[in-house]
Amino acid sequence: MVILFSPSEGKRKGGDGPSLVPSSFLFPERFTQRMAVLEQYQTIIQKGNITELSDLFGIKDEKEFQRYTHSLDTAATMKAIERYDGVAYDYLQYHQLEKQAQEYIDRNVIIFSNLFGPIRAADMIPDYKLKQGSSIGTFAPEKFYKKHFSDVLDQMIGKQDVLDLRAGFYDKFYTCVHPPTTLKFLKEGKVVSHWAKAYRGIVLREAAKYQIDSLADFLALRIEGLELLEVNETAKKREVIYTIG
């Protein structure tokens, strides 16, 4: 099973991994394309004015800019799954999982980075800041990665089951050839939006703990606090609906 996941606006600082090379990423043969995006990003960091940097980073405090204006191609790295530090990752609790569950995530999860595109959870990335949906100058990363990486993602995924835990924005990076399985969470009959991030993290944690490798296994998985309500199938996706207890 392949699990698609969103990145996070929040990042952990530091890292002790080597600087970026082709083997840092899934699809090393497309390293040149990733670096083309990174080059444009770093041009704005080096030459952009305050307004451009604020739009790029999604922050207004100029004192915070300094953290993100270093050269990324020579910066220290860490695993993407450890770098990201948002709600979904807090509830995933990667560091508290047993080694076998961590290895499952490293191997099965693809994260859609706003800057680096589709990467494995174990891929090594530097600290960076790029607001979701922001263009890099006149350049739209989501359009670029969909154009240049969809073919290799299709080949890698093949006929495997896909559990799509991404937020809706990241559909713009990649559309599955075969209908993926998505999730919806209801509380008192209403769709949960913000806290859906937390439940996506919980679902990924449980899938990793039990080494889920097929849709059938996933549907049989019992997750504390969630009750399977129904499964709706369309030509484009299979939607699993949970109620929150």
pLDDT at residue 32, as a whole number: 97
Q: What is the DSSP letter of 236?
A: S
Strand positions, DSSP E, the chain: 2-5, 78-79, 109-113, 117-120, 124-125, 162-164, 181-187, 190-191, 226-233, 238-244
Task: Mark out the alpha helices in 111-195 (DSSP H runs).
Answer: 141-157
Name the CA radius of gyration of the chain, rounded. 18
Six token digits for residue 52: 């451009």
With a cut of 90, say whether residue 139 has pLDDT above it.
no
With a cut of 90, say whether residue 52 has pLDDT above it.
no
- Overall average pLDDT of the 179-199 stretch: 94
Tell me the pTM.
0.95
CA distance 122 to 106: 5
- Overall average pLDDT of the 216-220 stretch: 96
pLDDT at residue 99, as a whole number: 98
- Overall average pLDDT of the 175-202 stretch: 94
pLDDT at residue 70, as a whole number: 87
Give the pLDDT band (50/70/90) at residue 48.
Answer: confident
